[in-house]
Amino acid sequence: MTTRARIFIFCGLSLNAIGCAGRATAQSPALVQTVVPPASVLPAVSRVVPVPSPIEPEPVADTDAGAPTGAGGDPACRSGMVHVRFDYCPKLERRCVDKEYDKPNHITICNRFSTEQPVCRAPRVPVDFCIDEYEYPNEPGAKPPVMFDFFEAGAACSAVHKRLCYEREWVTACEGPQEKPFPYGYLRSSKQCNFDNRWVDPNLSRVYANDPEIQRAELERLDRSVPSGQMPGCVSDYGVHDLTGNVDEWAMADFDRPHRRSKFSALKGGAWGHVRNACRPVTTSHGPDFRYYFIGFRCCSDPHPSPVN
């Protein structure tokens, strides 16, 4: 059996130094990948990639009600975005047929799901939105930047006249119209998407260094992400790439979680390590002001409205 290295561990601050204690805390029902101190007690971080200046809106043609769903080039969405319309299930029940317990992170990972039709245990919610085909900056072949907190990610999307995705939108784009557990199917596969990479011990004082060159060197040493679109099999049936693995992605929570650190934010998809890189799990253990070396984002927007007759 191939040994899978772990990338997520408990990291804490002592009075004298920043260190890692080699454990994680599981919280139910949300997936917990990493438990860290709130960003408010961490040193200030230099931006790895600056937030772009606002741009003029890109012209968008009128659309009609018959525009294709989930197809690139839909006139309801800007260039590089996919139009998705679906009835999302907030509570989808599916059966796992091959699972493992990941002791370092205290999580259960499903390696294979049954192909039987999942059961929806809550009223469906109609969704209609546009989503970037790739992780920010939404350019095939570009490396997704990291070390953005939720607010900075939202500002970067706003600067290009978009917004962060809601959880339900992100999940819908990932599962596709057949509501698959992984964007590519039912069997967890690191050959399809970028995850299960070997963990590298981070030097947190360098990750959060005020000197941008020190920080940049450490982030490059730790980085196991790949350029957007490099793994052609990591695409959902709607044509959205790299949703699971590569970098965690900020999203807006569908509802407030007052007893969680995240409250109104969420992290989706898992990063490039050995975690539950599936469509449904969500990380809620980090506050919206948290930054880390495998956290990025992608943008969504509302579709262009149909003309009034």
Three-state helix/strand/coil letters over the chain:
CCCCCCCCCCEEECCCCEEECCCCCCCCCCECCCCCCCHHHCCCCCCCCCCCCCCCCCCCCCCCCCCCCCCECCCCCCCCEEEEEEEECCCEECCEEEEEEECCCCEEEEEEECCCCCEECCCCEEEEEEEECCCCCCCCCCCCCCCCCHHHHHHHHHHCCCEECEHHHHHHHHHCCCCCCECCECECCCCCCCCCCCCCCCCHHHHCCCCHHHHHHHHHHHCCCCCCCCCCCCECCCCCECCCCCCEEEEEEEEEECCCCCEEEEEECCCCCCCCCCCCCEECCCCCCCCCCCEEECEEECCCCCCCC
* 120 DSSP β-pair partners: 92
Q: Which of 62-66, 88-92, 101-105, 151-155 has the lowest mean pLDDT?
A: 62-66
> Is a pLDDT exceeding 50 seen at residue 293?
yes
Q: Which residues have a Cβ under 8 Å from the Cβ of 103 and sit 6 or more positions away? A: none
Residue 168 to residue 173: CA distance in whole angstroms: 9
What backbone phi and psi angles, to 5 degrees, belong to 214?
Answer: -65, -45
62 falls within a domain: no
Q: Which amino acid is at 103?
A: K
Structural domain boundaries enclosing 259:
11-49+67-301
60 falls within a domain: no
CA distances from 79 to 104, 153, 241 (A): 42, 20, 15
We report the CATH number of the domain holding residue 154 as: 3.90.1580
Distance of CA 270 to the CA centre of its chain: 6
Residue 51 to residue 156: CA distance in whole angstroms: 5
Banded model confidence at residue 1, pLDDT cuts 50, 70, 90: very low
Quote the pLDDT of residue 199.
Answer: 85
56 falls within a domain: no
Q: How many domains does the chain have?
A: 1
Percent of the chain predicted with pLDDT > 90:
67
Quote the pLDDT of residue 104.
Answer: 77
Residue 47 to residue 148: CA distance in whole angstroms: 8
> Is a pLDDT exceeding 50 seen at residue 40?
no
> Is a pLDDT exceeding 50 seen at residue 99?
yes
Q: Which conformational region is residue 263 in: left (phi greater than 0), alpha (psi within -120 to 50 degrees), or beta?
A: left
Residue 202 to residue 19: CA distance in whole angstroms: 9
Percent of the chain predicted with pLDDT > 70:
75
The answer to whether the beta carbons of residues 234 and 245 sit under 8 Å apart is yes
Q: How high is the mean pLDDT of the chain?
A: 81
Q: Which of 3-12, 125-134, 290-299 has the lowest mean pLDDT?
A: 3-12
Quote the pLDDT of residue 306.
Answer: 64
Nearest to 85 by CA among 130, 127, 132: 127
5 falls within a domain: no
57 falls within a domain: no
24 falls within a domain: yes
Q: Which amino acid is at 170?
A: W
Please compute the mean of the pLDDT values over residues 159-173 and round it to a whole number. 98
1 falls within a domain: no
291 falls within a domain: yes
Residue 211 to residue 283: CA distance in whole angstroms: 29
* 250 DSSP β-pair partners: 267, 297
